[in-house]
Structure 1
């Protein structure tokens, strides 16, 4: 007899996952009243962070914190899930390109006796995905040019490319599951979101089988996009400071969070776009994805045609690798000013840690 349904949302990255996970976190206590659980480790750890560490442990990765910070996190998550009944939601986008062995372990650990396991995957068109993934990789410390990144993407080599390959991801994660337990959520185009800002959340609610009224608290969390000048400055900063090999938590926090997510966001700058000559390739990939989805019998929430890249913009394409020095200098000065203000306001690290913990505790205690 089924006593628990586990919905495992495995990605893909850059499909609104930050927003979805934050909304689940903000409404976790309200959802629990209706038998929908978003497990976490303690009052000081958000479900999003708990699931991230569990995913790192499953994938045998160790980034985003001190060495060994994720060890044992997957088993801790499994123990939490085992104690719950009703509906359980586990979500993290880094799970998408997991190996066959890692997928088998996750399904074995979360889909035991009395459990009905579902897999949820969100996807959007490559005209938006590919540029967004390059920006994200730069935020995370990569140093490659846009040209090199695009060349490797067409070969399917970067981590993001493997996470975006819809048929491969769902064939691996959906193996041995009935197609009705595999849920594909398409991310609506910008014009649809502008008309109805919560459309993505409503689609996720449909996939998870929950009533949107159970989670009324909105989220304002999102991974903000940078323009070509801002991305180029962060990339050059990564090269100057050898950032990808250091991976110090406080160091990454300054660049990824304070600069790339705050200080350099919202400036008037040319966006990073897919080159026009890559649109035929993106259309070919969309054809492959749509053909696979239609023939698979899986549950689709949204419109498969939204996975097509459409036509290139009419305005001239700007190469992110060729940003005029003056524009880069303006961005660099803004970054230096932000860093200077941050250095001036920083105080005792222990006090700062206590303030963050107190803020998080107060947030989780809200009814």
Structure 2
């Protein structure tokens, strides 16, 4: 009889976790046909809709990180229920939560022991990402969800330990599980078809039946949206209320004309400096010394401008965001804050469309009749000056 194993998809954060979790939920029959059981967690409906979730690890997430609650007995009961509900034909049980990446040695060891007592093995899947794009994405997440109001450069110095943490966390999983039970994938190499690669190469789903994939999950905020959120975070002391504004931004379509968040040359070089020794360790340990994981410095070499710091908000945008902050601070949680902020976001979009239309009309006037103006009629130059003042 083949030993049943619990496969723990443990992140890292910002490596397509939400997209994979949505795919796991949407393709459960496909997984079952390959002998993989994906239990439904508390946020299963959100995953089916392509929303951000914490995964299906239940009490395992806080426990693995060393929290006082739940207890070992509660985790053991959860495992009994989990394995008891697993179909007889499934030889793997798929649990996904990126925060399990931060498991401490003692709890990871205890999980392996609890599973062994129940005749079940433990293996893990972790994805790693090039340092510069990972840092930019993580910075955006901290601005959008954790109340960070500083620049990318400030974030890098404040959290400069995160790169060494890669080594700590991967070492924990490798030592507890053994090298043969830890799969490490390079996110950037498989980003174009991450879900397809994981289903085929890790989960054993036949390539003849590709998994269902819908719209992108948990999109990254653009540079202007991050600038908005920094303004909000600087104005609201309550992180939960600020996060509510960020959630509304994330629900909507990307701003027309917005640009991706990027690190400039100086910021990218600093990230590469901090991350390089830990990137080298990952390559030596998991990729046989080959240059698989990178710093991402080469891809950022042509970026003269740090878009995370270069966006300047107009007076109209600041006024609307000021109103959004006012509403978020005054209204009770669970009320219409999201709806109010969504309406304000629409007003900002409309203002930008109106401004672009006015600029197009101005250019047409200048081309068709550049010298037509009377003392009683503003010249095109005056119109342009008026537009600049409105910004």
Pair in the same fold by TM > 0.5? yes
* 70-79 or 274-283: bigger deviation: 70-79
Q: 1:324 to 1:299 in 2, by over 3 A?
A: closer
Q: 1:107 to 1:319 in 2, by over 3 A?
A: same
1:267 is aligned to 2:256 = yes
Superposition deviation, residue 9 in structure 1: 1.2
Residue 355 of structure 1 corresponds to none
Pairing 1:89-128 to 2, within 5 Å after superposition: 89-128=94-133
1:307 is aligned to 2:302 = no
Name the SS of the counterpart of 1:307 in structure 2: coil
Residue 79 of structure 1 corresponds to 80
1:229-280, CA deviations, whole angstroms, 9 ceiling, x for partnerless residues? Answer: 2112112223323232xx3xxx577424322x12362432233222323444
TM-score by length of 2: 0.68
Residue 65 of structure 1 corresponds to none
Q: Is the 8 A contact 1:39 1:80 kept in 2?
A: no
Residue 203 of structure 2 corresponds to 208
Superposition deviation, residue 60 in structure 1: 6.2
Residue 292 of structure 1 corresponds to 281
Match for 2:214 among 196, 203, 219?
A: 219
Relative contact order, higher structure (CA 8 A, sep 6+): 1
Between structure 1 and structure 2, the one with the greater Rg is 2
Match for 1:240 among 224, 235, 249?
A: 235
Name the SS of the counterpart of 1:184 in structure 2: strand
Superposition deviation, residue 307 in structure 1: 2.9
Q: Is the 8 A contact 1:230 1:331 kept in 2?
A: no
CA distance in 2, matches of 1:71, 1:343: 47
1:231 is aligned to 2:236 = no
Q: 1:304 to 1:207 in 2, by over 3 A?
A: farther
Q: 1:236 to 1:46 in 2, by over 3 A?
A: closer
* 49-58 or 13-22: bigger deviation: 49-58
Q: Is the 8 A contact 1:39 1:90 kept in 2?
A: yes
* 262-271 or 118-127: bigger deviation: 262-271
Superposition deviation, residue 306 in structure 1: 4.5
Name the SS of the counterpart of 1:269 in structure 2: coil
CA distance in 1, matches of 2:271, 2:93: 35
Superposition deviation, residue 117 in structure 1: 1.5
CA distance in 2, matches of 1:140, 1:309: 24
Residue 320 of structure 1 corresponds to 308
Residue 245 of structure 2 corresponds to 255
CA distance in 2, matches of 1:342, 1:184: 39
CA distance in 2, matches of 1:36, 1:70: 28
Superposition deviation, residue 331 in structure 1: 9.7
CA distance in 1, matches of 2:144, 2:74: 25
Pairing 1:16-27 to 2, within 5 Å after superposition: 16-27=16-27
* 86-95 or 164-173: bigger deviation: 164-173
CA distance in 1, matches of 2:3, 2:317: 59
* Count of equivalent residues: 319
Pairing 1:114-193 to 2, within 5 Å after superposition: 114-146=119-151, 147-154=153-160, 156=161, 161=162, 165-188=165-188, 193=191
Runs of 4+ in 1 over 6 A off after TM superposition: 68-73
Structure 1 spans left out of the alignment, 5+ residues? 63-67, 345-367
Structure 2 spans left out of the alignment, 5+ residues? 48-52, 325-336, 345-391
Superposition deviation, residue 124 in structure 1: 0.8
Superposition deviation, residue 339 in structure 1: 3.8
Name the SS of the counterpart of 1:234 in structure 2: helix
Cα RMSD, aligned residues only: 3.9
Q: 1:207 to 1:306 in 2, by over 3 A?
A: same
1:18-46, CA deviations, whole angstroms, 9 ceiling, x for partnerless residues? Answer: 10111001011332233210112579666
Q: Is the 8 A contact 1:41 1:77 kept in 2?
A: no
Q: 1:305 to 1:233 in 2, by over 3 A?
A: same
